[in-house]
Structures are given as structure tokens and as C-alpha cells.
Chains A and B, each alone.
Chain A
Amino acid sequence: MSTVKSSALPRLQDGVRMTPADYKGIKPIWCPGCGDYGILNALIQVLARNQVDPARLAIVSGIGCSGRFPAFVKSYGFHGVHGRVLPVATGLKLARPDMTVVAVGGDGDGLAIGMGHLPHAIRRNVDITYLLFDNHIYGLTKGQPSPTTEVGHKTHASPFGVSEYPINPLALALVAGATFVARGFSSHTRHLADLIEAALEHRGFSFVQIMTPCVTFYDTYKQWKQQAWELGEDHDPSDFQAALRLATEAEGMPIGIFYRVERPTLMDRLAAGAKDAVRLQSGTRYDREADARQIDALLQRYR
């Protein structure tokens, strides 16, 4: 097992206690039975278990059924536009390293319109957690195929069956260089909560593909329940080749931590690279005198 230094979750002050119910935001509007409830419950369990300070937690989302997620958790939240969740989360984290930033998005949101951002968020190793809600379908737009839908699956938009091969998000995250790669299943809520907790504590970009059935447009419950199996002690998450083999060749649907490694984050590298940047900091603590001096120095360059 690897020895991974955990990134500290922001805790509530002593004396304040929050129950799982306290972490709930407005009432979810998902279809009854939607897999996304399982993800919400798992996250709320993690927050309560760790007594996370909701004021220093931000949940950022794109568009889709998953996009509504931030409103259902009591924390700061940003429901943006389709596909841009990772850049939004990246900017927020760079600006506010003191915040725990969780990005959530669907398979359409993250692997179609937003696909271009995924490898870049990964190569930056920005210290955020990305939960990819994978239901193999476009829920909100009523059932068109997504980039993970299997070949041959028929929908209104693919009346002769999907012609394209599906994307393998885990393999993609691995080869792009993600430092934390995991898969969970919304029905295995306790297992999923452990995964999310590990992802939140990971220092760097953590990628969690979460299988979450859409009961309304593509009910995969039965199939995925049969296929899911939990990775055991025999898998070493520091073994990249083993992780890649699991992601590409395993029978059924293994869930658990595929890969985990510690590497400097984007903020670490930025701080190290800018040698004279003694003040690279979070937020905007202005220092009028120092800033004025710095501007004077900058203007001198043009004299």
C-alpha cells in the first residue's frame, strides 16, 4: 500500500457539530430511484464523518442531471455551464487554496463537450476532486447516447444503434497522468463514501468515475449490480501497469482505487517556479505598501 500524505479537509470549529441532515441543501429534484441519490448520500456521509466546514467546501458543476448537485449540499456552490466544470474548479482552487473544491459532472458534460479540459486538469495535477457521474446516457436532454454508451444501444437519437465505440474514462485518466484514479458505484454507498473520502484527502487531481444508473432513460441497475466487484488487498494502487490492465481488461466492473501516487500539484510548481514570488498566496490579502513598491519596481523596467 502506498503512503499517501493526506490533504487536510477543512474541519468545523470545536463545539460545533453537524449531523448528516445538516449538510443537506434544498430537496433534490432527481427522478425517484436515480443513482445520483446514492452519490449525494455518500458525499454527505463523508462530510458528516469528517465534520467538514461547509463554508470552506465548494462544489462546482456543469450541466445535466448531475449539474443540480451543488444545490443539494449545504456548502458554497457554483452551477456553471455545460462542460466547463474543470476550468471553473481549477480557477477557484488556484485562487483559494484554502478551499476544498469538488467538481461534479456527467459523462456527457465531462467526456463530450468538456472532454478537452479533462487531460489538462489532469496534467496540471490541480488539487481538486472530480466526480464523474457516469450513467452512459444523457439524462437531462432525455436519453440521447453519451460518449460512454455501448455500441449498438438504441435511443431516439441512435435509432439504428450507437455507431461509435465508448470512451474508457479510467484508462483515459490513467494515461493522461492522473495521480488518483478510482471507480465507484452509487449502489455500493458505503464503499463509495470511502472512495470519495480518499479522493478528497488526496493531494492533487483525484478522478472518480461513479457508475450511476439513470432509471428513466437507461436503467443499468441490474446489469451493473451483477458486474460490480470490489478490488481487494491483492491490488497495489501504486502499480500503474496493473491499474491500466484493470481498467482495460478486467472482467465485469471492478470498483475501488485503481491508482494513487503523490506528485507536486500545480500550486506547488507555480510557487516553486516563481522564485521571487515570496508572496504567492491564496485569496487577495492586499498589502498597499508592498504592492505600491512592487508596481514602482515594475514601472522602472520601462524607463
Chain B
Amino acid sequence: MAEAVKALTIARRRGMTIRVAGESGEGVITAGEMLTWALARAGLWVTTFRTYPAEIKGGPCMFQVRFDRKPLDSPTGPADVLIAFNDEAIALHQESVRPGGVILYDRHDDGSEPEGLRADVTARAVPFGKVALESLQSRLAKNMVALGATYAAMDLPLDSAKEFVARRFASKGESVVSVNVRALELGYELAREQLEGLGRLAELSEVDGATTGAADSGTGRMVISGNQALSIGAIAGGCRYYAGYPITPASDILELMAAQLPAFGGVAVQTEDEMAALASALGASFGGVPSMTATSGPGLSLMVELIGLGVMSELPVVVVDVQRAGPSTGMPTKTEQGDLNLAVYGGHGDAPRIVVAPVSVADCLEVGRRAFQLAGRYQTPVIVLSELVLAQRTESLPVPRGAELLLEPEWGGTGANGKSNGALDGHYRRYVDTEDGISSRPLPGDPAGLHVITGLEHDEYGHPNYEPAMHRRMSEKRRRKLEALQREVEADPRAWVARFGPEGARIGLLGWGSTYGAAREAAALAEQMGIAVQGLWVKMLSPLPTRTVEAFVRGLDVVIVPEVNASGQLARYLEANGIRGRIVPLVKYEGLPFSAEEILARIVEVAKGS
């Protein structure tokens, strides 16, 4: 059966995949980014995946670019072409090349061949390094030589690559640009002159219907990463204060915000730690300015007390957690969906908060902007659970219009939410108890709204109060806000759940976050094997839209729940929320994302068994 799955995924996989591998420092990432951009420019839909070492210098590194005429769900899976910058890269990655695929590798200066090359692939030696050294006096340019060769083999116009080089190296000066352009040209010529038979690449792309002459021109697209999308979404959602402390893989959010927020009238600061980051975001929020911080697991652990403060004082704030693998410092450069428990439950006392999770790069943009509206409207922290693989994955997307992205964050002010229910007795009842638990929130500066907020249990005025009835009432008020949101989501779940597959299917996939792409692809492949599968990806994790999830599960014989963590956090969370059904967890905890094949294999097993 495993063979059948493999054969199918190879024969029926959409698009084409090029994997570039080498030592970090050899230009793997630049080469990958260039390919991505050029392919997007050529009118193809592109999605990428990278792995890189935790070491500052050295260590193996890989960048994979998958492209097709139609948008793709997932960047993972076997490669059609492997460009290997050294022997180690061949050893590490040739297994991932599909049978009949191509390996382009650097020829040894002494003419010898690398050991153990697979027989069922077309392997071609090209003297990338030597050509770079001889003609350009720099081995460093070998990635450009290799790319030039790839472009020739794939019949891609070299102009787009040259344009990328000119943009990327503009700041380094004219001579750097020209050396790299020359390297591209040399690689291109080399492939054209010496490598007949490499037309095989073009042939492959024909077979897969991914030729470069695709219909639309691609200029209406951008290539953007999940972190970039999330940041831009946040700004469009109204974020004007950002505070953060560097941590992989969230740091580039800090960098983008620091560079971009001022142009929007906003401010970004790098704080001394994560507690300061979230505390200052809460301070800014109190002032009425939509605020955000972003971190990764260890930072979220440190922020937990302040999340409780946000819940108790009913201050809106957006906290992004770009999850990475493992407890403690774990594996900073590897991916995992391990922080669901912390995000939903983390902290002391009962602290209901909103937790959302994007499922793709495009969704990072969307969730980034809507997180602000949720936080503002419900006056509570919103935790956005992103993941390393989403954060760093780049994708080609249509360029949205700024005017359409803008969202009103509803971040307070007298009469927020159309209510001005607090002004009574000359004192402002900041926490006036309402049906949906939402009170109006005047902002500092408003003479009619003077009030003091506190992390202590309090009465409607915000005065500390430890009466049994008061704690009961205020606990209910805080929870009721989330129930209101839950009703809102259940009434129209489209914004917060993603569905795929035929509704009548008896086998289901249920998940959250980045597994969406591979699962959707797996379902499409299963369909080709005659197995009907439907999927539901939940983007609103707290409050969980239990009715929607229940209705989905009820119609199924079996639900596979793929998760990138060891304990099956979502599966347990479903159970805790009273979702009953035949739930089959499918966990992976290797620091790597699921491929469609891995999910398909489980679907096939389940289909056979049921």
C-alpha cells in the first residue's frame, strides 16, 4: 500500500518542485529566493519551504520551491530537480528526488564523481564552483552559475533573474551586481552549450503542465512570507504600537514593524524582555492605541502573567506566537504546533482569551488584520498561533488593495460598540455588566470617563472587591464575552473555519494551522484513489466553535486529526470540549511539517480498515 501511495503522489502530484541544497553560506537561500521570485514573475503560483541550521555559520541548508499554473496548497513533497552545491547535499537530499527526477551537482575540480548517486535519476555534473572561480575569481558566485544553468534548462527568461540580482544587490554596488549577473550568464551558457539532454527539465515541466509560458503574467502578484503577511495584516488592522524582544522565528516581525510603523504614525520598540514587551503593549492599549507583540514559545511562557492581566483588566492586545519546536529553548529553527495548550490555558486562574491560528501565508494576512478587530471588540488579549513553517514560507499571492485591507480596530473610546453604558453616578463604571459582557471603554483624555483599571478582582467601577458574589459575577462577565464571540462565529463560521472535500465523505480530516495545505492536498490525492475525504480546519481555537465542529464530526465514520506535536493537543482539546466521535490522532514530532503523502498514507490505512 505504501508503494501505491508513493506511486500516486509521484504520478499525480501537481506542479513541479526544485530543491536547492548546500552549506549555509553557499547562497542556497539567495538562490531559492531568486527562483521563487522569477517563477512568480513568470506567471506561476509559487510556494516554498526551507530548512536551515541553528549554527551561526555552516551546517546544511535547503530551500525548496514548488510551482504550478494553479495555486498550490503545500510546499512539501518530493523534488523534481535537486541542485546540490556539495556532496553532503547530494547525500542528504537525493532521497527526496522522485524517480526520473534530475540532480544537478557541482563537479569536483579533479573530475571525480560523488559516491552513491542514485541510478533512477538523471544526475548531471556542472562545474559551478570552478566556473565561478575561474571566470569571476570567486567561488561564492557558484549559486548564480547554478541558477543560470537551471534557468537555461527550464527555458526561463534570464532577464527576470538579472532583475532580481540588480534589486537584491543594489545596495552593495554596481560591481557586485555585475559579477552576479555575469555568473548567471555563464551558467546559462554552460547549460545551453554543454548539457544537451537537460532538456529533460523542460520536458518534465511540460508533463506536469507547469511550463513557464503560463497564461497570466504574474506581475499582479507578490512574493511574501507568513511573518511579513502577518505584520502587514496587523498594520492594516490598525496596529500602531509594537513592542517585541528578538526570538527565532518571530524576529523579522519586530524588524518589519520597526521599519514600517513610523510611516503610519506608529511606534515600535525593542524591549528588554518579553514581559516588558507585553506590559508596554498593554500600556499603549490602555491609552487607546492598538498594540501588538510577537514572540515564540519561550517568550510566550514569560508573558503568561501579563496575558492574565489583559484578561482581568479587559484590555485588548494582540500577542503573536510563532511556534517553534520543543519545550525550553527546544529547537529554535524547527517547526511544531506545540503551544496550543499554553495559548488556550496558559496562566493562573480562569483567564478566557481568544486564540486564533492562520492556516496559510495568505491567511496570515487575513488573521493579522482581524485579530485587532476581535481584540478591540471583545476587550481581551488575542493570541495568534503561527508556526515557523508559516512564518518563513514564502508564497506568491495576488497583491491586495490597501484600501480593502484596512479594518477599523474598534479600540475603545466613549461609546465604543455603540454603548456608553458606564457613565453613572458621576463615576465611570468601566466594567459595567452587560448581556454580552462587553462594557464601554473611555480612553484617557476623556473627562467623563475617568477610571482605574486593575488586575485585582474588582467591581463594576474597577475598585478592588473580593466578595464571593463579585468574583462569580465578574468571572461570568469575562466568560460571557467569549460566548458572544462563539455565537458570532457559529452564526457564520466561514471566516474562522476552512472546509474542503465533498460533504458526503465518511472520512474526515480535522486540524489547525499549517497542516491545512498538506491535508488538503492529501484529500485531493485520496479522491484520485477513489477515497472521499472532507476536511475542517479550525482557525478560531478559543472560543472553539463547538457546534460547527460537532456537526462536522457527527457526519463522519472516522476523523483523522493531524498535528505537529507529540501529545495530540488538538485531539485532547476536542475531547475536553465534549466533541465525541472516532478520533484518530496523527502526530508528527520531528521538527518538520507533514507532507501530503504522510497524511494520505493514514487516510488509505483508515479507508482500508473501515
Which residues of A pack against B, CB within 8 Å?
25-26, 53-56, 58, 60, 68, 70-71, 74-81, 83-84, 86-96, 98-99, 116-117, 120, 124, 266-267, 270, 274, 276-277, 279-281, 283-286, 288, 291-296, 298-300, 302-303
A sample of 11 inter-chain contacts (CB < 8 A) reads: A54-B450, A71-B463, A77-B452, A77-B453, A79-B456, A91-B283, A98-B445, A284-B238, A284-B265, A292-B401, A302-B224
Residues of A close to B269: CB separation below 8 A: 90, 94, 124, 266, 270
Q: Nearest B residue to A302 by beta-carbon distance?
A: B222
Number of interface residues of B (CB under 8 A): 69
Residues of B close to A99: CB separation below 8 A: 287, 444-445
Residues of B close to A81: CB separation below 8 A: 279, 305-306, 308-309, 455
Complex formed: what's the CA distance from A233 to B444 in Å? 39
Residues of A close to B453: CB separation below 8 A: 77-79
B309 touches A92 (CB 8 A): no
Partner of A96, one of B243, B262, B289: B289
Residues of B close to A280: CB separation below 8 A: 262, 265-267
B411 within 8 A of A: yes
B444 touches A116 (CB 8 A): no
A88 touches B287 (CB 8 A): no
Partner of B411, one of A284, A293, A300: A284
B272 within 8 A of A: yes
Surface stretch bound by A, among B379-387, B402-410, B485-493, B567-575 = B402-410
B309 touches A80 (CB 8 A): yes
| Given A95-B241, A95-B283, A78:B452 Cβ within 8 A | yes
Q: Nearest B residue to A120 by beta-carbon distance?
A: B272
Residues of chain B in range 438-490 having any CB-CB distance to chain A below 8 Å: 444-447, 449-456, 462-464
| Given A76-B450, A80-B282, A80-B455, A296:B288 Cβ within 8 A | no
| Given A78-B286, A95-B267, A56:B224 Cβ within 8 A | no
User: Measured between C-beta atoms, what is the minimum distance from B407 to chain A in Å?
Assistant: 10
A277 touches B282 (CB 8 A): no
Complex formed: what's the CA distance from A56 to B442 in Å? 12
A-B contact count (CB 8 A): 209
| Given A81-B306, A299-B399, A94:B406 Cβ within 8 A | no
User: Measured between C-beta atoms, what is the minimum distance from A73 to chain B in Å?
Assistant: 9
B228 touches A84 (CB 8 A): no
B276 touches A84 (CB 8 A): yes
User: Measured between C-beta atoms, what is the minimum distance from B429 to chain A in Å?
Assistant: 14
A285 touches B286 (CB 8 A): no
Which residues of B pack against A, CB within 8 Å?
219, 221-224, 228, 232, 235-236, 238, 240-241, 243, 260, 262-267, 269, 271-273, 275-277, 279-291, 305-306, 308-309, 313, 399-403, 405-406, 409, 411, 444-447, 449-456, 462-464
B284 touches A95 (CB 8 A): yes
Residues of A close to B285: CB separation below 8 A: 91, 95
A279 touches B401 (CB 8 A): no
Partner of A294, one of B287, B402, B450, B451: B402
The 4 closest A-B pairs by CB, nearest first: A91-B280, A91-B283, A277-B262, A295-B402
Residues of B close to A270: CB separation below 8 A: 262, 267, 269
Question: 16 additional contacts, CB 8 Å, given A95-B240, A284-B240, A299-B402?
Answer: A26-B463, A58-B444, A70-B452, A71-B454, A87-B271, A87-B277, A87-B283, A89-B283, A91-B287, A94-B284, A95-B267, A96-B289, A274-B262, A288-B403, A302-B222, A303-B222
